[in-house]
Structure 1
């Protein structure tokens, strides 16, 4: 194991990935401004649905978020060229983590992966070649690295893809019902809209989605299948980019493939005159046991967190508890309706809340379908009432439809949500049992 993890190997893949990664996160940051994502999610809302426990991050939302994303875009450029790499990478990791935690109206598993990879890259020596840092400090320059840097990326990707594949093994995916619902939203796409409504296309998408996620990493690792796997990866991720419009993730996923190809081939294509590092010498670092211990703990967490929903009461497809941070990607379509009623505990005065006065159109589309959104808004109403020296109870009537099925009652209308606490690692009893 020591030899496997701590031998020195060519660092071409890591250097190349740093360049691609910096470009992509810069495009993501500037693109979020140009496409209106920042405006819709972090400027216009007067109340944000942050991750529970991180509500304090909302103090930095508003017009200042434009400057915030510009700074992130600049750090991406610095990362790509390898300028002050450690500081730039740390700055982006911190800034992106805050963006991820301060809002979930536009939640995406890919944002979570970007956060994890950003923090991982903080600790990687990705600036030791083809970088401004290496040019300014020739002693830093090297064409080798410890092998474990590569295997950390490979293992992280294996976890992501494997969990994504296994999560698809449920009824609505296997009978192609969810794929049909998913594609109905794409019916107006130019040229391919009608094609995406065909039943046989749904079957191919469903089966290919499971097999691709399950087999892509082994296929890239095995040299005889590597080229075919890469071609299929290009097709798969470009299809996702065009049809589902999920930002930089398809291109980030393709950038990861540099860790699977022979370093000399990468150097021949991208580095031109650069020479490879030939001899794989064993050079264990001083704090070998500490390094191994830290990464073992990290990956145990990564293995355990995505399966936590199996220990909760009821079905995650219904409750949503344990869905996030678990690589359950593109698995369901939820819609819901909800009405909030407040009752003044002193005067018994009832008031029906007009959501238009509090939430954006995008937030109103989300709130009825997710229990944590409903709970958070109930807590917000409670805080607003306290400012007026009022003590209120908050009740809701809500109905949810999953994957196009009939709407069903979702939250217990008899429970005062203002008095409820949110449980991260167990079932919240104000969610009604899932329909049979």
Structure 2
């Protein structure tokens, strides 16, 4: 039964058209990162970057190398859209984007993580089998069909993203609209809509609509009677996010995903202007069917488990941040803090305070002030910097953090030498002070 569902042959027009949108959008993202100064601010100006812990060796290419890096990724996006050397172009982009994702988290965004997952998914899918230069050069490679599992891999990934995003919003600061108010304060100066976004009734609409949209959009797009209405809501929702939150290509990538929910013939009529194609409905199992099903099962079990891992840590994830990333916890909190780093020479006992301006950009300082992994990594960086000067030091931190509209509270145990403690990936770091419930 499962094999008949997964390995049924279907029209591949949805995948083909999505490939074109995907390639163009990632190309725009990469070239845009250069044009808007994102590459310069995030990867060139900083003296070092805060990579994911364990990937400290993964640092930006010196000089103007990251401009070239992003230009190559942008070109790979165009090759993906054109379907030229598709498999190579898609895998090359996936690995290069993953490198960017892991080498810096100062500008972390859940959408960057989604794009990393999508890049590898697309690299494995047969998206170059039609409307591509590959099939022009080698017509034997052409096909108008794909297995049904290809479509459902995309749909299931989206369902996981949206559902966890909706569930995560079911907490106090979202339900009383206070986090919406905080998020909208920074939009006060927006042309025409700035003052409107400060209205309480707008905050209520955004909060309720955000929960319901994330929870219902995938089922509503799958069900034919509600599909067109859901698509109209999608256009409004994603354009609103694009204008208000300015999150790059991702609202448009989300709209591109909707091609997987419409009938293939509808997609052909709109984009390909082709007649109905004939598909053999017989289920033909590929030789690696069992391996494929096993691999997909493991992948989606991981995707289901990762957003739940914060429940295995002590204390509240909104306070500790442990288990926050890769969990589709989007726009849920605002963090501010103040912090001081004191280094103490083990041999002489002489201590001094660190001037963060000598080491960090403004954005990095904001992160170091209130995120525990940034704090720990900076302590390790100081330890290494002083080691190069022949000094063995301890690093003590004093800091207070405010989450959303709560009060400031002591965040780090000031008596712990952060230069000497390991980072715990799978359990609570005890030097993070307990949250103060309010």
TM over 0.5: yes
Give yes or no for the alignment of 1:95 onto 2:96. Answer: yes
Secondary structure at 1:351 match in 2: strand
For structure 1, which segment, 407-416 or 272-281, has the greater mean C-alpha deviation from structure 2 after superposition? 272-281
Q: Is the 8 A contact 1:7 1:280 kept in 2?
A: yes
Separation in structure 2 between the aligned mates of residue 230 and residue 3 of structure 1, nearest angstrom: 29
Q: Deviations over 1:235-276 (max 9, x none)?
A: 000000000000111000000000000000000000013543
Q: Is the 8 A contact 2:395 2:417 kept in 1?
A: yes
1:111 corresponds to: 112
1:270 corresponds to: 271
1:312 corresponds to: 313
1:192 corresponds to: 193
Secondary structure at 1:418 match in 2: coil
Separation in structure 2 between the aligned mates of residue 17 and residue 82 of structure 1, nearest angstrom: 12
Separation in structure 2 between the aligned mates of residue 376 and residue 344 of structure 1, nearest angstrom: 19
What CA RMSD, in Å, does the superposition of the two structures yield over aligned residues? 0.9
- What is the 5 A alignment of 1:51-130? 51-58=52-59, 60-130=61-131
Separation in structure 2 between the aligned mates of residue 346 and residue 211 of structure 1, nearest angstrom: 60
2:11 corresponds to: 10
2:21 corresponds to: 20
Separation in structure 1 between the aligned mates of residue 93 and residue 172 of structure 2, nearest angstrom: 40
Q: Deviations over 1:124-172 (max 9, x none)?
A: 0000000000111111111000000001001100000000000000000
- How far 1:279 moved relative to its partner? 3.8
Separation in structure 1 between the aligned mates of residue 143 and residue 94 of structure 2, nearest angstrom: 25
Count residues with an aligned counterpart. 436
Separation in structure 1 between the aligned mates of residue 278 and residue 87 of structure 2, nearest angstrom: 24
Secondary structure at 1:335 match in 2: strand
Separation in structure 2 between the aligned mates of residue 151 and residue 391 of structure 1, nearest angstrom: 55
1:253 corresponds to: 254
- Scaled by the length of structure 2, the TM-score of the pair is 0.98
Q: Is the 8 A contact 2:60 2:66 kept in 1?
A: no
1:169 corresponds to: 170
Q: Is the 8 A contact 1:44 1:62 kept in 2?
A: no
Secondary structure at 1:343 match in 2: strand
Separation in structure 1 between the aligned mates of residue 189 and residue 118 of structure 2, nearest angstrom: 35
- How far 1:405 moved relative to its partner? 2.0
- What is the 5 A alignment of 1:2-401? 2-58=3-59, 60-273=61-274, 275-401=276-402
Secondary structure at 2:57 match in 1: helix
For structure 1, which segment, 135-144 or 275-284, has the greater mean C-alpha deviation from structure 2 after superposition? 275-284
Separation in structure 2 between the aligned mates of residue 347 and residue 303 of structure 1, nearest angstrom: 51
Gap runs ≥5 in structure 1:
none
- How far 1:213 moved relative to its partner? 0.2
Separation in structure 1 between the aligned mates of residue 227 and residue 284 of structure 2, nearest angstrom: 29
Separation in structure 1 between the aligned mates of residue 375 and residue 62 of structure 2, nearest angstrom: 21
Q: Is the 8 A contact 1:186 1:243 kept in 2?
A: yes
Gap runs ≥5 in structure 2:
none
Q: Is the 8 A contact 1:315 1:434 kept in 2?
A: yes
Q: Deviations over 1:352-372 (max 9, x none)?
A: 000000001111122111000
Separation in structure 2 between the aligned mates of residue 343 and residue 36 of structure 1, nearest angstrom: 38
Q: Deviations over 1:291-313 (max 9, x none)?
A: 00000000000000110000100
Q: Is the 8 A contact 1:144 1:277 kept in 2?
A: no
Q: Is the 8 A contact 1:9 1:277 kept in 2?
A: no
Secondary structure at 1:232 match in 2: helix
